[in-house]
Amino acid sequence: MTRQTIAVVGAGLAGLRAAERLLDAGAQVTLLEKSRGPGGRCATRRSPVGPFDHGAGAFRARTPAFQAAVAAAATQGLLHAAPAGQRLLDLDPGPSDAPAWRGAPFMNAWPQALRERLVGRGLRLLTEATVRGLRRESTGWLLELAEEPARAALGDTRFDAVLLAVPAEQAVPLLQPHDPAQAALLAACRSEACITLMAAWSDPQPGGPHLLRPAEGPLALAFRQDAFDTGAADLAPTRWTAHARADWSLAAIDTPPEALLAPMLHALRDALGEAAPGGAPTHAAVHRWRYAQLLQAAAAPCGWSAALGLGSCGDGWLGSSEAAMPLDGLERAWLSAGALVDRVLGG
């Protein structure tokens, strides 16, 4: 292709995959991420007591293309598979040919490695860069950013194309003024919210449960981070990560995180019963995921307007129309990014 200047908005797995494919094709790529680092829902929160995987806990790879990518990452030591048939975090036991995968040592290891490799190949990465609008001029696309440091870094760069690799709810208002049809496809997609607790106690807790799926109460899932980590035996504090149910999370999503600590800690103690750690936690924090789990993906692999040079990808799209079974969100995102870049390169 003729060398293009392309902006990719969102540095989750979809955005990183799109940037990788575009760099392979010789494009100049700027990747913009509103958070402090890449990874999206492959998220790991660092803390004084050790890390917490507070986004996706595990995933499966069901299509040959994604299986090959996962196998390559595993060879690099960035992912590890659970033993066949073992329940791993929020995933039920699967067939022997579809193991559950986790990041090694933590969930953001793969996207972090991708970031480092792509930056080394010339990717321009801007973090804490929230795209709040797109403006199309005769000389190309201009991005309107919320943060002054990011605006200064981006300058008046014009882009031949803009690819949105963000949740559907964030992509729609950016698409609507320019491509209402593409926006309409994503507008039907809705994500569930999730309130997540990360808490640690200094005293080791031998024995007891490592994984909970309470039948009632606010929590949908809780797991002992230190029991599932790899290469983290020296991290002594007992660390729990707990995800609230979607309905409870939606009702609380606009509550300040500090006000959610007490009810989330109470819910975790109730779920653990006699196995609950004693005393106050040495560390506790809450993260609010507004768009945690997609309920229904748009019925296309991705969205793209060649005339405008505007597209979108991510788990809001189907990713692949050839999959024989529903795909995890991370796999949909990865496949959707590949499908979008195929269209970009094909015109």
User: Residue range 255-266: average pLDDT?
Assistant: 97
Say whether both 163 and 280 belong to one domain: no
Write down the mean pLDDT value for the chain. Answer: 89
User: Residue range 96-125: average pLDDT?
Assistant: 90
- The total of other beta-carbon atoms located within 10 Å of residue 119's CB is 14
Edge-to-edge strands, sheet with 5-9: 124-127, 28-33, 5-9, 161-164, 310-312, 303-305
Edge-to-edge strands, sheet with 238-244: 211-212, 219-224, 238-244, 191-201, 283-294
pLDDT tens figures, 197-235: 999 998 767 667 888 999 999 999 999 888 776 554 445
Say whether both 185 and 289 belong to one domain: no
CA atoms lying within 13 Å on the CB side of residue 88: 21
Say whether both 98 and 29 belong to one domain: no
Return the pLDDT at 325: 60
Say whether both 314 and 327 belong to one domain: yes
pLDDT tens figures, 52-96: 999 988 888 989 999 999 999 999 999 998 755 445 555 444 444
Look at the chain and report how many structural domains it folds into: 2
Sign of CA dihedral 206, 211, 214, 218: positive
Say whether both 36 and 126 belong to one domain: yes
- 0.85 surpassed by pTM: yes
| 120, amino acid identity | G
**Does residue 97 register a pLDDT over 60?**
no
pLDDT tens figures, 134-177: 999 999 999 999 999 999 999 999 999 999 999 999 999 999 99
- Our measurement of the distance from residue 338's CA atom to the centroid of its chain's CA atoms, rounded to an integer in Å, reads 16
Say whether both 265 and 233 belong to one domain: yes
CATH number for the domain harbouring residue 196: 3.90.660.10
> In whole angstroms, what is the distance from residue 99 CA to residue 94 CA?
6
Percentage, residues of the chain above pLDDT 90: 70
Ranges 7-11, 158-162, 246-250, 317-321: which has the least confidence: 317-321
By residue range, what is the domain housing residue 243?
A: 46-107+192-294
CATH number for the domain harbouring residue 29: 3.50.50.60
Q: Tokens 């990465």 appear where?
A: 125
Say whether both 29 and 116 belong to one domain: yes
Say whether both 57 and 206 belong to one domain: yes
Q: What are the phi and psi torsion angles at 153 (to 5°)? A: -70, -40
Return the pLDDT at 220: 94
pLDDT band at 277 (very low <50, low <70, confident <90, very high): confident
